[in-house]
Amino acid sequence: MKASPDKPIDPETPLQLLLFVDKRPNSGEQIRHIRNYLKNLKAQYSFDLQVIDVGEQPYLAEHFKLVATPALIKIQPEPRQTLAGSTLVTQLENCWPRWQRSVEEYLATLESQTDSSSPERPNSTIDSVAYSAELMRLSDEIFRLQQDQEDLQEQLRFKDRIIAMLAHDLRNPLTAASIAIETLELSYSPKEGLNTRLKPAVTAQLLKHAKTQTRAIDRMITDILQAARGTSGDFQIQPQKLDLGSLCQEVLVYLRDRFQPKEQQITHDIPSDLPLIYADPERVRQVLINLLDNAIKYAPAKGTIAFSVLHRTTQKVQVSICDDGPGIPEENHERIFEEHFRLKRDEAQEGYGIGLALCQRIVRAHYGQIWVDSVPNQGSCFHFTLPVYRP
């Protein structure tokens, strides 16, 4: 029945009933029994019945807060009454005389009104209920659309922040790489085909510096792209046999220039007898560099960073990176791994708020765990596990 909220009640059928049913096979016989009983009543009494499949009109079921079907609801005359359960026909037999009396009282009320041609329209009718349910559905749809709009707006704001930060952060390594390359270019002799103005050691240092800065740029762009690729369920890795000890040593050498400006000391404990792990080398490299970068950032000048690898169990290897920086409040130990979350103290600093979230996605894609142990003003220790290779 199409909802028509302005349609008045027909005085010939003042009793209005809703029968809620479903398509479960085990309720079919009960529904047929109820339908037959109502059909017999229809031959003697006048009433309006609408049969509603809860699967097709769930908002009507929600409107009446139904917890079971089949259910029969008398919505007019008021007060509303709901019958449900396996003894629905028996309940209806007991209620029917009372319902008929309420119909008679309702009709008598209509006749007593001064303007009998315009009787007061009751609040509860089949049409008005359908109208209310449709409003409920539309309200939910509007709420969902508002949530989608807020999510999209937040994504746009995040992209704007990323673009601004990336433009700022790329400037320094780009400038450094450009200076190194221009210096090499100015000292190059086209005729002799070699560098004539710089000593070999200086040339090697400039090349190394340009390469380091280029890698830093590549890592920034990679982190941004990985953060935009969705959840860990969509995260692709290419695991293989991997010598974790060698990879850790490579990363420490790669980041050596980062420790020196702050005169930080790094200690490391990387056992020579570590078992091979089964992991994606580039992804693990990303995790190591991100966590070490954070340690460098937060450890004070002349501070200490401890790097260690432990063969934790026969199935897992654990990497730990600790610093003596300001630490992380306990209430934020979980939140720091959320996408875009940043501590209040870091909001004015460079960065994207995606590094730890990316680390977590990589580690979880390897079926490992990542967590932090930290006390404010006593430093932080980040730990993560990776699977041991099993031939």
Q: How confident is the prediction for the chain on average, in pLDDT?
A: 79
Whether residue 271 has a cis bond before it, omega within 30° of 0: no
**What is the architecture of the domain spanning 234-387?**
2-Layer Sandwich (3.30)
Separation between Cα atoms, residue 58 and residue 130, nearest integer Å: 11
Task: Name the pLDDT band for 159 (thresholds 50, 70, 90).
Answer: low
Share of the chain above pLDDT 90, in %: 19
Residue 10 has pLDDT above 70, yes or no: no
Give yes or no for a contact between 75 and 16, defined as CB atoms under 8 angstroms apart.
Answer: yes
pLDDT at 102: 87
Domain coordinates in residue numbering, the chain: 15-124, 139-227, 234-387
More confident residue, 105 or 158: 105
Task: Name the pLDDT band for 127 (thresholds 50, 70, 90).
Answer: low
Residue 322 has pLDDT above 50, yes or no: yes
**What is the architecture of the domain spanning 139-227?**
Orthogonal Bundle (1.10)
Minimum mean pLDDT among 28-32, 121-125, 237-241: which range? 121-125
Task: Name the pLDDT band for 54 (thresholds 50, 70, 90).
Answer: confident
Separation between Cα atoms, residue 248 and residue 5, nearest integer Å: 72
pLDDT at 48: 84
In the CATH hierarchy, which top-level class contains the domain 15-124?
alpha beta
pLDDT at 2: 37
Burial of 333-350, coded b for 16+ CB within 10 Å and e otherwise, reads eeebbeeeebeeeeeeee
More confident residue, 276 or 187: 276
Give yes or no for a contact between 55 and 22, defined as CB atoms under 8 angstroms apart.
Answer: yes
**DSSP type of residue 77:** S
Separation between Cα atoms, residue 134 and residue 146, nearest integer Å: 18
Tell whether the torsion through CA atoms of 160, 165, 171 and 176 is positive or negative. Answer: negative
Q: CA 345 → CA 3, 56, 222, 348, 350, distances in Å? A: 57, 52, 25, 7, 12
Minimum mean pLDDT among 22-31, 236-245, 369-378: which range? 22-31
pLDDT at 8: 41
Which helix (H) or strand (E) segment holds residue 267: the answer is strand 265-269
Share of the chain above pLDDT 70, in %: 75
Give yes or no for a contact between 167 and 221, defined as CB atoms under 8 angstroms apart.
Answer: no
pLDDT at 268: 93
pLDDT at 274: 94
Average pLDDT over residues 344-352: 48
